Amino acid sequence: MFVGAGALLVALAFVVGRANVRGPGGAPYVGVRGASRAKAAGLEILYVRGAEQKVVEPSTVLRAGDRLRFRVRGERSRYVEVRLRDGAADPMVVFPAFAGVGSGPIAPKEVLPIAHELTANTGRVIVTALFSDHPRTPGAPPDADTDVVTLTIAKE
């Protein structure tokens, strides 16, 4: 009698335990095999000060007059939008400048065809990059399929 009840409980456990193996919204991984997800979408920021060009690092402090360049990091070509806030100034879209120009997919390691010069505004520089597999309207809020990367850089 106990053997029959135990067998029924084991069978019921298999049915209940297997019903939701993948979880809600589960989908197979479709990224590059073995690739780090930390670098799936990213932006390397370069600054030009005088005749010297350097990569922005966590300890970098920017100055008014520095020109920023942007290099795309990632696993594949994607649509990219770059927004920038220079100190107390209002945020602005710096790439693409407007729909249709430079709004095609950008390849990894490609340097964007812009150089944004920092103003005398005080405060931090906040750069937000939006990566998408489809064209986006510049300035539009990100959708569920958009990867958003935000970087904050000190400025004197």
**Spatial CA neighbour of 85 closest among 42, 131, 132, 118:** 118
Token code pair at residue 54: 């350097």
Q: Which strands sit side by side in the sheet containing 61-62, from one edge to the other?
A: 61-62, 147-155, 125-132, 79-86, 92-95
CATH number of 38-155: 2.60.40
Which pLDDT does position 8 carry in this prediction? 53
Distance CA 7, CA 24 (A): 29
Which pLDDT does position 87 carry in this prediction? 87
Distance CA 20, CA 32 (A): 26
DSSP lists the bridge partners of residue 117 as 67
Distance of CA 116 to the CA centre of its chain: 19
Which pLDDT does position 10 carry in this prediction? 54
Which pLDDT does position 104 carry in this prediction? 76
Mean pLDDT by 10 residues, the chain (156 residues): 57 51 49 52 91 93 95 91 91 78 78 91 91 88 92 93
Residue 95's H or E segment, with its range, is strand 92-95
Which pLDDT does position 19 carry in this prediction? 47
Model confidence, pTM? 0.71
CA-based end-to-end distance of the chain? 80
Alpha-helix runs per DSSP H in the chain:
2-18
